[in-house]
Every structure is written in C-alpha cells, then in structure tokens.
Amino acid sequence: MSPRRPVAIVTGGLQGLGLGIAQSLRAAGFDLAIVDLAAKAELPAVLTAPAEGAGTCRYYQMDIADIPAHAPVLSAIETDFGRLDCLVNNAGIAARPLTDILELGSDAFDRSVEVNLRGTFFLTQAFAKMLIASGPAAPDAYRSIILITSIAAELSFTDRSQYCVTKSALSMVTKLFAARLAGDGIHVHEVRPGLMQTPMTAKTGSDTIEKLLAAGTVPIARWGLPEDVGRTVCSLASGALPYMTGQPIWTAGGLNIPRIL
C-alpha cells in the first residue's frame, strides 16, 4: 500500500449508491474502508478484483446510529491505512412503508432521525476531529467530507416525510461543517441524487418513475445510476473543485430545473 494513496471511508458501501461510489473511488486510486451493518460481509468482487491503479478495500462493521462505536471504528481505520482523507456519508434508511404525513408515527420518525441525521452528524463530527488532530494535510492531499442527501432535501414527498425532514436537515449540516472546517483545509460537500435505479427503489416498483421519465419530468430522460453518483463523489473527493464547499450538487438529470410547462 502506497503511503501517498488517499483513504476514503464509504458508509453503506456494500450495495446501491454506496457500492457505485466505492467503485469509482477505488478506480481512481483511493484505498477504501467500507462500513456497513453486516457483522461479517464478503466484499463484492468489483471491490476486490485486481485492476491497474486500483486501491485496496477493507470492511468494517458499524451501525452509524451507534454513536459510541464511531471513534473505535475510525481509529481502527486510521491505524490500518495510516491516514484518513475522505468520509462519504452515504448510509441511511428510506421511508418504509410509505405513510401519509397525517398517519406517520413517532417511532418511524425517530428511527429515521436516529440513523439519517443523528448518526451522520456525529460521525462527521468525530471524523473532523480526527483530521484536525492529525495536523495539517500534506501539500498534495485534499481532505473532504461528502454527505449523500437526496432530491428530497428540497422536493416534498408527503408519503415519506421523515425522509424529507432528515435529508433537508443534512443539507444544513453540510453548510455548518463547511463553514467550521474550511479554515482547517477540510472541504464539505452535499450530493443530491435524483431518481436512482438501485435495489432500494426496485423494492417499491418503478411504474411511477417510468411515467415521470416518459412525461419529460426529467430533462435527461433516464434513470440515474450508482455510477453517476460515483463519478460526482469521485470528482469532489479528488479535489477537482477546490474552490467550493458547502454547496448541494444535484446529480438528478436536471430534475431540479424550475419549469412552468
């Protein structure tokens, strides 16, 4: 392992958007710490197959809602890889089952807050403290924290209100940490995926989204793919946009463009 190879942590990296993000980062030469829920997990072949210039991957079990586990897992990753450069906050839970806002119970709401918001906030805090404690970054290093939110950070879906609330709150979390950490040379970014084709969306069926695509709701009229988000995250983590922090990056095919007709 090259001591100059950057190290990225990807939460929820075993499938879906997290796996697409991990693939892109590995191909770009990052070493990866994949963090997910499974007590024992075999990394997908796409993260272990030999490839020229690709980084190495290790797996770490953690529920991001378990805040006392954050520091030990981050410390283990730093010890194993010798450095930390990037945290990709991808892990989260969807609104299941879909429930009208007038019928939503407090347990479902609290669970979404516990994982999506509280867990992400305090993992970001712990990671930022470790970066600062490690001292200034090397001149050729780019240190970043990337939060994967959603179009639901701005668009309203009344049958998944707890998801919208947590994702919109994470947009403010991005701004807050960006403002606080800029002086320490740590960039904080928000990525808002659009209508994504993942195992999570497959569980709810795709008829509604197919109709939206056919109606021209999305200017780039296709499903978004994990690799679309992966390329966005890779550009940010690699420092391709060095004079930017705290901004939402829509990876949504133009869905956010205001239109009357």
The Cβ-side half-sphere exposure at 157, using a 13 Å CA radius, reads 18
| Whether 229 contacts 202, CB under 8 Å | no
Tell which residue, 201, 194, 189, has the closest CA to residue 247. Answer: 189
What letter does residue 138 receive in the DSSP assignment?
P
Specify which residues 192 forms β-bridges with: 250
Give the ranges where the chain is alpha helix by DSSP (H).
16-27, 70-81, 106-112, 120-133, 161-181, 199-202, 207-214, 226-237
- Does the annotation count 59 as an active-site position? no
| Whether 113 contacts 65, CB under 8 Å | no
Q: Which of 59, 142, 163, 243 is catalytic?
A: 163
Catalytic residue list:
163
